């Protein structure tokens, strides 16, 4: 098990999340490769499905399993290579849909973009993101996209960073 470049706190956090997934999978010391992307996301990373598959995730449950020692290189590769994008990148993308230049996007259009462009999200994923970011429409059904971007980039546990 190579832990080069990882401090004790990071290693402990990876172990805790791995153990939690192992607990859900039956406490056999292994996690299903199908859940690799979810496990990485629980650690604050944001791999695409394609990136997850590239490093060893599978498309179906039961095809492969990983021990903690086998999972560490997967975590390290994703942790070292993920480019999250910047606030300015996302802000510029949302400006495309801001017809009046007021920093607002119709929430229905935001939902459509998130479910139909790039790595498409499911409606359930979009609902969860909106819920976790506490995003609310104004009286006209618009969302301030700068606030939304900041909340998404902060992650699900912004106080932990």
Chain-centroid distance, C-alpha 99? 29
**Torsion angles phi and psi, residue 118, rounded to 5:** 65, -140
Q: What is the mean pLDDT of the chain?
A: 85
Structure confidence at residue 72 (pLDDT): 92
Range of the domain at 67: 8-81
What is the mean pLDDT of the segment spanning 106-135? 88
Of 81, 114, 133, the last residue of a domain is: 81
Give the H or E element holding residue 142.
strand 142-144
CATH number of the CATH domain containing 73? 1.10.238.10
Residues 141 and 107: beta-carbon distance below 8 Å = yes
For every residue of 32-93, DSSP letters joined together read EGGGHHHHHHHTT----HHHHHHHT--SSTTS-EEEHHHHHHHHHHHHHH-----HHHHHHH
Structure confidence at residue 22 (pLDDT): 85
Query: How far is it, in rounded angstroms, from Cα 110 to Cα 90?
Result: 12
Looking at the structure, do residues 120 and 63 belong to the same domain, yes or no?
no
What is the mean pLDDT of the segment spanning 28-53? 87
Q: Residue 140 pLDDT more than 70?
A: yes
Looking at the structure, do residues 76 and 95 belong to the same domain, yes or no?
no
Tell me how far apart the terminal alpha carbons of the chain are, to the nearest angstrom: 26
Nearest to 42 by CA among 80, 88, 78: 78
Output the six-digit token pair for 4.
Answer: 């080069």
On whether residue 103 sits in a domain, the answer given is yes
Output the six-digit token pair for 37.
Answer: 């992307």
Of 81, 107, 138, the last residue of a domain is: 81
> What tens digit of pLDDT does each residue of 96-105 get?
888 889 999 9
On whether residue 1 sits in a domain, the answer given is no
Output the six-digit token pair for 142.
Answer: 């618009």
Is pTM beyond 0.75 here?
no
Looking at the structure, do residues 62 and 21 belong to the same domain, yes or no?
yes
Looking at the structure, do residues 12 and 77 belong to the same domain, yes or no?
yes
On whether residue 123 sits in a domain, the answer given is yes
Q: How many domains does the chain have?
A: 2
Looking at the structure, do residues 109 and 44 belong to the same domain, yes or no?
no
Structure confidence at residue 83 (pLDDT): 64
On whether residue 158 sits in a domain, the answer given is no
Structure confidence at residue 1 (pLDDT): 43
Output the six-digit token pair for 126.
Answer: 């979009």
Q: Which of 1-10, 33-42, 123-132 has the lowest mean pLDDT?
A: 1-10
Sequence-separated (6 or more) residues with CB below 8 Å from residue 105? 94, 97, 98, 142, 143, 145
Looking at the structure, do residues 91 and 139 belong to the same domain, yes or no?
yes
> What tens digit of pLDDT does each residue of 109-120 get?
999 988 887 778
């Amino acid at each position: 098990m190579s832990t080069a470049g990882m401090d004790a706190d990071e290693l402990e956090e990876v172990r805790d999340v791995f153990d939690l997934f192992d607990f859900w999978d039956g406490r056999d010391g292994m996690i299903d490769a199908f859940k690799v992307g979810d496990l990485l996301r629980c650690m604050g990373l944001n791999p695409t499905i394609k990136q997850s598959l590239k490093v060893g995730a599978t498309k179906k449950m039961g095809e492969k399993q990983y021990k903690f020692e086998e999972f560490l290189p997967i975590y390290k590769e994703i942790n070292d290579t993920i480019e999250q994008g910047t606030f300015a990148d996302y802000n510029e993308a949302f400006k495309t849909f801001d017809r009046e230049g007021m920093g607002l996007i119709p929430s229905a259009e935001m939902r459509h973009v998130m479910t139909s462009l790039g790595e498409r999200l499911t409606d359930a994923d979009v609902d969860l993101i909106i819920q976790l970011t506490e995003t609310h429409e104004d009286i006209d059904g618009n969302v301030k996209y700068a606030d939304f971007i900041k909340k998404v980039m902060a992650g699900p546990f912004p106080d932990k960073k």
